[in-house]
Structure formats: structure tokens, C-alpha cells
Structure 1
Amino acid sequence: IGRPIANTRIYLLDGHGQPVPFGAVGELYIGGAGVARGYLNRPDLTAERFLADPFSGKAGARMYRSGDLARYLPDGNLEFLGRNDDQVKIRGFRIEPGEIAARLLEHELVGDAAVVAHADAAGDKRLVAYVVVKMTDGSAEADGAGLAASLRAHLGGLLPDYMVPSAFVRLEALPLTVNGKLDRKALPVPDDDAYARRVYEAPQGEIETLLAGIWAELLGVERVGRHDNFFELGGHSLLAVRLLVRLTEALAVELPLAILFAKPTLAELARESSISLITQEFDSHQLQKLLSSGVGAWIGT
């Protein structure tokens, strides 16, 4: 966007009408001598968009609420990040997808990006990023799960967890409408390669197989390997609670939520479940005899 022109003031405000810190995302309001009187024959829209300017010392001054999201760059220029109309609410957090897309564009491989919220079969909203990769050396190999892992790590160092998309879909170009806007209806549903995956190894044993089925259902993915990470596949705290409830129903095992955050891979969680089952089944004396007989090696103690 650049900088304000002469006789114009720019405000970046939060949802309460207060200025945001330098570099933070806010809605763009315009004040100064150039602000129009309102919309022709639209008093309702005028009242909604043309507001009293509390930051001006001039009586009767007004400012225009643009609906655009922006932030100040270090050089003092304004960067446009999208429309406030695109703001979504996920798990109680208000999120500006344009801010996430702007961070994706900072990655060396990303030439264009868009972030939207999709509802899964259970009605839960999840963020999905659609990216166009720059045609540079090595970009052809930056595909599928490897690209998803790289972009997830990039955003994870810049944004809170709830703003990191569950899936990253690579496109040749973003689909646009005849008006040049993002055609959301033409965006494909993420496949398994859109998630940050580890090298696949099939689940081993009854508990890993059981867990893999629960994960696949909760996360909406077709295949889960024993080294896959629950959170890298799109899991979050609410889904984690559901997972542990399902685990209790299936195995009569009650694991604390902290265990899943500390041991987020399928194999690790299955191992913790096995340990819990064993400790529930035997008293301390019996358990000590089992450990000394070699069972400890099996459970990794």
C-alpha cells in the first residue's frame, strides 16, 4: 500500500478500536481532509463505515473504516494482508488468513499463497494453505509431505500453534474468478500428501493398529504410520481430548493430556498405553518380577 498521502491519516486498529502495536495486524481506517461525506443514498452503509475520529483534535472529524487488514513494515510502509471479511474463528481464536498467507510468502519457495478454513466431517474448522511454489532450482522436488513439513516448521517459528494450517496443498496457480478474486469453490480438498508426514511404516501390534484407526477418523486422513505425529497431521488440543476419551473407551486406559504432548507419535503413544495397561493389571511386586524377567526390554524400561 505504501505510505499515507498528504492531508491523510492512517490508523491500524484492533477489534476494540484501539491502535495495534507496530508490526501487528490491524484493520485500516483512513482519516484526514480526504475523507468523503459518505455513500450516496446509503445512510445505513454511511453510518457503518464513516465513524467519528477519536484521534483527531478537530471537531466533527470522521474516519473511514476500510475493512482492509494491514500492518506496518520495518521501513514504515503499509502491507495489505487481506479483507477483514475473511476473518475466521477457530477453537475460540479469531484468525486473519491474510496474515498467515503473508508469512508463507516469506518462505523462499513460496511465490503465491492463500489460506482458507475448511469444515471437516465433524463440523470442526481447520486451516488449509494453498501455495504456488517458485520455479527455482530444487523447487520441483519440494512437493508433498516434504513441502508441508518445511512450511509447517517455517510458520511454527513465526505464529502461534492455532494459526498454523493443518494441511498445505501445492498448486500450479491459485484459481481465480472472472473478477480476479480467489475462487474458493475451485480449491481442491487436501489429500494425504498435504500433511507433514514422516517416512511411512505400518502400525505394529493391536494397540498401534487400534490407535491408527482412531487417529485416521479424528484427523480425517486415510493412512497413519507408526512414526506420524498427531499434531503434524492436524491435531490440536480439542482433538487430543477426544482421542484420549476414545482410548479410554477402547482400552480402559486413562492417560493424562501431557503424555500426548510429550509423546505425540503413534508408536510412542501406543507404548505409553501398553505401560499403563501393564501397571493396571499387576501390583508393584508382580510388576517388578515381570520387569526382571525381560518384559522391561519389551516396553523400553
Structure 2
Amino acid sequence: SLLQKDTLQKLLIEWNDTRAEYPADKTIHQLFEEQVTKTPHNIALIYEDQELTYQQLNERSNQLAYHLRSLGVGPDTLVAIAVERSLEMVIGLLGILKAGGAYVPLDPTYPQERLQFMLEDTQASVLITQAHLRESFKDYAEKIISLQIDAETKDLFIEEYTSHTNRLESERWINPSTQSSENPSVITSPHNLAYVIYTSGSTGKPKGVMVGHNGLSNRLIWMQDKYKL
């Protein structure tokens, strides 16, 4: 062998050991909700000059979760999310998980052909995005949800669109005061899907990889321990 035994040990065993002790009976959003209870007023999220506390982030994602459930999102339902880096991105991800669904992240900068393929491949009927991006997806998603955080009040505004031929029709503008901010009931288990991520694919055709809550929990808790987060 060209490699020494100690080098092989590091490459194959030590550096690949990502095992971590984690609550096997809880989903990612349940673990987040536990942290909210511990530190509700601590800052959870910062983007540029905007920030949200754990309580604010939890309440906004709860509001989105209730709306997604009203659209039929439940366990293992795939919900696409095409959002630029922002507070809305994290609210969207948490909201999907709390609704019981699994998120499919889409990079808005991808070519239209690639985005169309991923949406058709997952058959996601709901797509979460932002106002300035929604027109790009009008031909590929049946229902489009636009998210916007008010910079001053931190209220979450949700606008729902239905896609018709070459146009979007605004269906509902959801006032945050009409949505509950309490934690939704848990309808998923750690064995349900958390997200589907697309790789480039060795053949050039994107391939979806399904990841459950248990795998994601294990990874995140390992990272917290490894990098002292």
C-alpha cells in the first residue's frame, strides 16, 4: 500500500466518524422548539442589519406552518423553496418542517431548465419564494407562496398565488394576526423526510437524495460538538 497504516486509519475511520448522541425520538423542529423554551429572547438569526430572537423566529415559522397545512402539506409532502439568503429563508425551512413536510431547496440562480426538472421530478405542488422571484416560477408550480418580513415590526406577511397560463393570480394575502403563533401539533416522526437535496449527477442529470430527520439531527449535533457551536 502507498499509504501508511496510521494514515489509512485517519482517512477511513477517524475522519469519517460522524456518530453523535442525539434524541432519537425527536424531529429537528422539536429540538429547535426546546431551545426556544430555554432562550426565547436570545438572538437566533442575523442577516445584515436584521435580526430575530428565538421566540420571534419560532412564531413566524409557526404562522407559515399553519398556512401550509391548510394547503394539504403533511408528512413527507415535498415543498420547494427558492429563496435568497435572508430571514425569510430560515422561516421557510422551519415552517415546512413544522407543517410536517420536507423541503426541496432550489437555488434561484440555477438555469431554468434545471429548476424545471427538479420541480417536475419532485412533483412539488407548493413553492415558497420571495416577491421579486415569483414570476420566474409561474410555469412550474401550482401554488406559489411569497414571504416577506416587515423590517420594523418583524411581522411575517404571506401572499398566496395560483399559477395560470403565463400569469400568476393573487389568491390570498394572509395577515399575520389571523395566524396562530403557537407550536403546531407534531405529526411527523424522526423517520419521516426532512429534505431532498439534488446533486449534480454523474450523468449530468440531477439526482435527488432523501434525508430524514434522524440523519439531519445526527449531523447537526455532531457539528455542534465538533466545532463547539
Larger Rg: 1
TM-score by length of 2: 0.24
Say which structure, 1 or 2, has more relative contact order (CA 8 Å, 6+ apart). 2
TM-score between both structures, scaled by the size of structure 1 = 0.20
